[in-house]
Structure 1
Amino acid sequence: MSATITKGGAKLTGRRHRLDRPELLAPAGSLEKLKFAVHYGADAVYIGGQKYGLRSNADNFSFDEMREGVEFAKRYGAKVFVATNIYAHNEDIEGLEDYLRNLQDAGISAVIAADPAIIETVQRVAPKLEVHLSTQQSVLNWRTVQFWKEEGLPRVVLARETSLEEIAEIKSKVDIEIEAFIHGAMCSSFSGRCVLSNHFTDRDSNRGGCCQSCRWKYDLFVDEEMIASEEDNAFTMSSKDLCMIEHLPELIEVGVDSFKIEGRMKSVHYVATVVNAYRQAIDAYFADPQGYELKPQWVEEIHKAANRPLNTGFFFDTPGTEDHIYEPEDKQAPYDFAGVVQSYDADSGIAIIQQRNNFKPGQEVEFFGPGGTFFKQVITEIQDEEGNVLDAARHPLQRVLVRTEQPVKPMDMMRKRIR
C-alpha cells in the first residue's frame, strides 16, 4: 500500500511504513532523563554506555543503570537502544565483545552502530541485539539502504541531509525500517564527519569528543583583511536547529518509521517538553488523519524549550544563508525548569515539589504533564517540609510544599518565565 502527497509542487510517493505508527525516539543522557522521556510519551529512548558512543561528556550509563532503565521502560511498553556509533581505532576493539554481551544481558533492544567491525561483532556475539545503522554512515540513497538490509540490519538511520523526496523513493524500493532525525541540533559538517574539533582541541569528534567548534565565535578575513570580528559581530558556522512539528503528516505519509529527537546533552525539561509536544501531535494525527490540524500550543511548547532558531533542515530544500546563525546566538530558552512534582494531596491541594531552579511567592508559573496537562498560576506561599514559611525555594533539589490550583501528578513539571 502506498501514499502520495505533494509538497512545494513535488509529488512524493512512498510505501506505507511497516510499523503501525511511527516510533517516537527520544534522547536520554542520564537515567533521570530516560524516565522522563518515557513518562512523557517516548516509544523508545537511545542512551550511551561508558564506551563506544559519540557523547563522551553525557552522564553515560553503567550496566546497572541500563538494567534499571530497561525495567522502567518496560512498564510503559518502551524500548532502550544504546549508541555504539564511534569509528573504532585498533585500541577500541579490545573489550568490545564483552561490552556487547553485557548490553544484551541488560535487556537492551538494539545498538546504533556505524563501524562495520562493531556491526559484525554484534551480529556474532550478541545476536539478540538489533543493529540500527547510525547516521554516521551518511546513508542518502536506496542502493546503500538495500546493501545494509542485505547485511541483516532491520533499520537504517538516514543522514540528516536526506530530503523528504529521497526518503519516499527509498521507502518505495526497500522494505526496511527508516529512522530520521526530526528535531534538534544540526551538524555544520556532513552528518558528523567534522574534524575541526580534532585540530583545535585534540578531541576526536568521531570518537565522542566533539567540542562543537562550529558554535564558536570567529574573526572572518578576506585577503588578510578582517571583515568581521568576534568582539563586535561574531562570525560562526552555527546552523539553526531542526524542527518538523509542523510537518508530521508529510513524514508519516512517506513512511518514516522512527521519529528521532536529538539531544542527549539537553536538560530534563527540554526532553520532556519536546517529547510531550510530538507525542500529542502524533496521537492526534492517528486519531483522525483526515481532520488533523496542527495545534498552536504544540509549536508554542517547542519554543519554550528551544535553544536556537528553528528550521526544517534538508527535508524540503538545501539550507541557505538564512538557515545559519551569524550573530551572537541567544541560547537561553524563555522559560526555566523550576521544579518537579513528587506527590500531591487531593484533600489539601498541596503538592510536594522538588526545586530545580529558584522560585518564590508572587511568581507566575506553569505546570505541565504528559498528554496536554497544562495550567498557569501564581505561587502564593512556599513551605518547607517542617511547615516553615519560606521567602523563596532557593536550595537545589529542596523539597517544598506549594498549593496548586489544579490537581497535579508525580513527574509533572513546573517552569517559570525568565524573559
Structure 2
Amino acid sequence: MRTIKNKPEILAPAGTLEKLKVAINYGADAVYIGGEAYGLRSRAGNFSFDQMKQGVAYANAHHAKIYVAANIVAHEGDVAGAGAFFRKLRDIGISAVIVSDPSLIEIAITQAPGLPVHLSTQASTTNYAALNFWQQVGLERVVLAREVGIAEIKEMRRHTNVQLEAFIHGAMCIGYSGRCVLSNHLSLRDANRGGCAQNCRWKYDLFEMPHPGVKQSQLKNGEAFSMSAVDLAMIQHIPDLVEAGVNSFKIEGRMKSIHYVSTVANVYRQAVDSYCADPDHYVLKPEWVDELWKVAQREMSTGFYYGTPTADDELFGKRRKRPHYSFVGEVLGYDEQRHLAIIQQRNNFGVGDQIEFYGPHFTHSQQKVTRLWDRDNDILYRAPDAMMICKVPVTHPVKAGDMIRKQRV
C-alpha cells in the first residue's frame, strides 16, 4: 500500500493564546501568530513576549511549532529595534519568523542567527528562479503568492527544494498577494503596515450627477459594485496539493473565532491524514465539506489554483449558500455520573435549541437542550450572559475542549 512519507504540515492561525491552544488541540502541526510589532494585523490579538513563551511551551508539549508574522512593508524608521525583536523570538523558542521586507530579512538573518526565516506571501513569489534566489539568501521556506496555480507549483517543485507553503482556506485579498493601497487612500490606514480597513468589502456604486444635489445610479441591475472576493477552500483538492509538493497547508484567519479555527483545523487534519495514509484509496467525505460550511462567512472557491477567477468568485447579489450554525459554547468538563456537560457560554442558547457537540478527531453528537442550570444549580430557560457557566444534560459523553454549535432556525 502506497503512503505519503512527507506529510504536509497543517498551519493554523491564532490571534490569541486561547486560539493557539485550540488550533493545536484540533490538529494543527503549527500555528502562526503576530507580535506587538512588524506585523500586518494591528487589530488582531497580537502576542506579548510573555504570551509567546506560554504559547511555545504549550506547542512544545504537543509537538507543534509556532511562527511569528513580521511581514510589514517597512518605511523609514519602521525597522528600528527589529534586531532585538528577532533575537527575542529566537531565544523564546519561536520556530520561524515570516517576513516580506528585504531589510527585515537581512536584519533577521544577520542579527538573529539561528532563527529560521520564511518569506511571506506579501513578497509575491511566483516562479522557481525567485524561490532559488530566496533560498540562496538564507530562507528555508517561501509562502507562495496566492495567484499561483497548481501547474505552476508542480513546475516550481521540479526546480527547487526550498519548502513551499500555500494557502488552502480562508479569506482572499483582492490586492495582488495582499499588497493593497485602497485602505491607504480611502481610510488613511496603511494596509501594508497593519492597518487594513477592508475597503474591498464595502459596497460601491457608479453615479451620474446631472444637477447639483442630484445623484442617479448607473448600475442597471441595481446591485452595488464590490471588489470583495469569495473565500478560498481547497478541501476537495487535497491530493493535488500534496502531489504538487506543497510542504505546508496554510489556513487564513488570525482574527477569526475559536469556532472557525477549531472547525477548519479539524477538517483539514482529517483529510490530510486520510490521504497520506492511503492515497490510492482516498475518498473525500461529504461531511468534511459540510463541516466547513458551518463556519463559512462567504461562498467558497478554489481561487487561482485552476485558472483565473471569474465574476463567480466575487460577491454579487444574494449569497449562494449561507452558514446555518452559530457558536454557543465550549465544554469545560463532564459529569459522568449525572451525564452533565459543564459549559462556558459564548452566545445565547437555551431550552428547545438543537445543538451539536464536536471535538478533536472529528467527533460529533447532536441533541436538543431539554434542561439547563446555572453554576449554582438554579434552573434556567436561556443562557444569555456572555461567558457564563451553565450545565446541560447530554445524550453522549463529551470532553473538556469540545465545542458547541446551535442550529439556526
TM-score over 0.5 (shorter chain)? yes
How far apart, in 1, do the equivalents of 2:245 and 2:195 lie? 33
Classify the secondary structure of the residue corresponding to 2:280. Answer: coil
How far apart, in 2, do the equivalents of 1:94 and 1:333 lie? 44
How many pairs are equivalent? 403
Structure 1 residue 350 corresponds to structure 2 residue 340:
yes
C-alpha deviations, 1:203-245, integer Å up to 9, x for none? Answer: 0010011111111010125899732299x52210111111000
C-alpha deviations, 1:150-182, integer Å up to 9, x for none? Answer: 111110000000000000000000011100001
Classify the secondary structure of the residue corresponding to 2:135. Answer: helix
Classify the secondary structure of the residue corresponding to 2:294. Answer: helix
Contact 2:299/2:320, CA 8 A, preserved across alignment: no
Structure 1 residue 113 corresponds to structure 2 residue 104:
no
Instruction: Kindly state the Cα deviation for residue 384 of structure 1 after the two structures are TM-superposed.
Output: 1.2
Classify the secondary structure of the residue corresponding to 2:178. Answer: coil
How far apart, in 2, do the equivalents of 1:396 and 1:223 lie? 48
Partner of 1:141: 127
Q: 5 Å matches for 1:180-329? A: 180-221=166-207, 226-228=217-219, 233-327=223-317
Q: Which amino acid is 2:126 matched to?
A: L
Q: Which moved more, 1:381-390 or 1:330-339?
A: 330-339
Instruction: Kindly state the Cα deviation for residue 287 of structure 1 after the two structures are TM-superposed.
Output: 2.0
Q: Which amino acid is 1:94 matched to?
A: A
C-alpha deviations, 1:247-282, integer Å up to 9, x for none? Answer: 000100111000000011111101111110100111
Q: 5 Å matches for 1:26-45? A: 26-45=12-31
Partner of 1:388: 378
Contact 1:139/1:158, CA 8 A, preserved across alignment: yes
Classify the secondary structure of the residue corresponding to 2:275. Answer: helix
Contact 1:219/1:229, CA 8 A, preserved across alignment: no
How far apart, in 2, do the equivalents of 1:129 and 1:222 lie? 56
Instruction: Kindly state the Cα deviation for residue 333 of structure 1 after the two structures are TM-superposed.
Output: 3.3
Instruction: Kindly state the Cα deviation for residue 42 of structure 1 after the two structures are TM-superposed.
Output: 0.3
Q: Given the alignment, which residue of 72, 82, 96 partners 1:86?
A: 72
Ranges in structure 1 where 5+ consecutive residues have no aligned partner: 4-15
How far apart, in 2, do the equivalents of 1:221 and 1:180 lie? 40
How far apart, in 2, do the equivalents of 1:347 and 1:273 lie? 29
Ranges in structure 2 where 5+ consecutive residues have no aligned partner: 211-215
TM-score, structure 2 length as denominator? 0.95
Q: Which amino acid is 1:48 matched to?
A: G
Instruction: Kindly state the Cα deviation for residue 49 of structure 1 after the two structures are TM-superposed.
Output: 0.5
Partner of 1:360: 350
How far apart, in 1, do the equivalents of 2:207 and 2:284 lie? 45
Structure 1 residue 160 corresponds to structure 2 residue 146:
yes
Q: Which amino acid is 2:152 matched to?
A: E
Q: Which amino acid is 1:227 matched to?
A: Q
Q: Given the alignment, which residue of 60, 64, 80 partners 2:46?
A: 60
